[in-house]
Amino acid sequence: MKYMQVLQTCPLFKGTTVADLEKMTACFNLTVKKYQKNEFITLEGHKFDGIGVLLTGKAAVTKENAAGRRIIMEMLEPGDMFGEMAAFSANKVWPASVLAQEPCAVVFLPPDKLAGNCEKKCIPHQTMIANMLSLISGRALMLTRKVEYLAMKSLRARISTFLLEEYKRQGTLTFMLPMKRNEIADFLNVSRPSLSREMCRMRDEGIIDFHRSSIRIKNLPRLKEITE
């Protein structure tokens, strides 16, 4: 199959050779589907077709908000997969919609064959199952982190946690914020003016210093203290 190279970059097939992939895909009876720009690849609430892997193009995972507005959850690039969570749950419907932003080619993996018994009980198949376990639990842990953020009552605690994670990631007390104010506010689930106000208060108290996207942690212990 001509898409084999792309398929190999998919985390699901990490540690699998192209030869193994060829064998497996033959077993899977794969169907490549094509979509035009602005066409829906999946529709939230509709019947689940199998785990999708984006082969070419660009697509957006979207969800409808309470207010009925579409929010982009994630952008998909070739090699990315979607629907891996819904695949093994009881309720076999798409938890989100996927919208093609460009012409896209997608392959769907039937979940029953994936988890089901391979007659040959081949090693690659087991590797794939292990990958799947690690992927999904990774996703679950990521969601746990999100819950931790949202469960924080005070805005200051959210900001502090956010800054500390960034500090940990970048390694220096002075660094650039990876997002604009608006995006940070969205991520922390607060309004932008509230974020600005609180950041300025923290600056007044000598905890941090900043200008636009460049920020410096002036009182690290204090910052940690806020998050407990």
Partner DNA sequence: AAAAAACGGTAACGCAAGTTACGAAAAGCG
Partner DNA sequence: CGCTTTTCGTAACTTGCGTTACCGTTTTTT
228 binds its own copies (CB under 8 A): yes
Kindly state the number of chain residues that form the binding site for DNA, as judged by CB under 7 A: 24
- Is residue 145 within 8 Å of residue 28, measured between CB atoms? no
* Contact residue for its own copies among 33, 34, 37, 146 (CB under 8 A): 146
- Is residue 43 within 8 Å of residue 77, measured between CB atoms? no
198 binds DNA (CB under 7 A): yes
Instruction: List, as own/partner pairs, every contact residues 113-117 make where C-beta atoms lie below 8 angstroms and the sequence separation is at least 24, other chains included.
Output: 113/27, 113/28, 113/29, 114/28, 114/51, 114/87, 115/88
- Is residue 28 within 8 Å of residue 112, measured between CB atoms? no
75 binds its own copies (CB under 8 A): no
Q: State how far the alpha carbon of 140 is from the alpha carbons of 35, 38, 137, 164, 178, in Å.
A: 30, 29, 5, 22, 23
Query: Which CB atom, from 105 or from 109, has the smaller least distance to its own copies?
Result: 109
Q: Would you call 27 helix, strand, or coil by DSSP? A: helix
89 binds DNA (CB under 7 A): no
171 binds, among DNA, its own copies, none (CB under 5 to 8 A by kind): none
User: In whole angstroms, how close is the CB of 207 to its own copies at the nearest point?
Assistant: 15
Query: Which CB atom, from 123 or from 173, has the smaller least distance to its own copies?
Result: 123
123 binds its own copies (CB under 8 A): yes
Binding site for DNA (CB under 7 A): 67, 153-156, 180-182, 189-200, 210-213
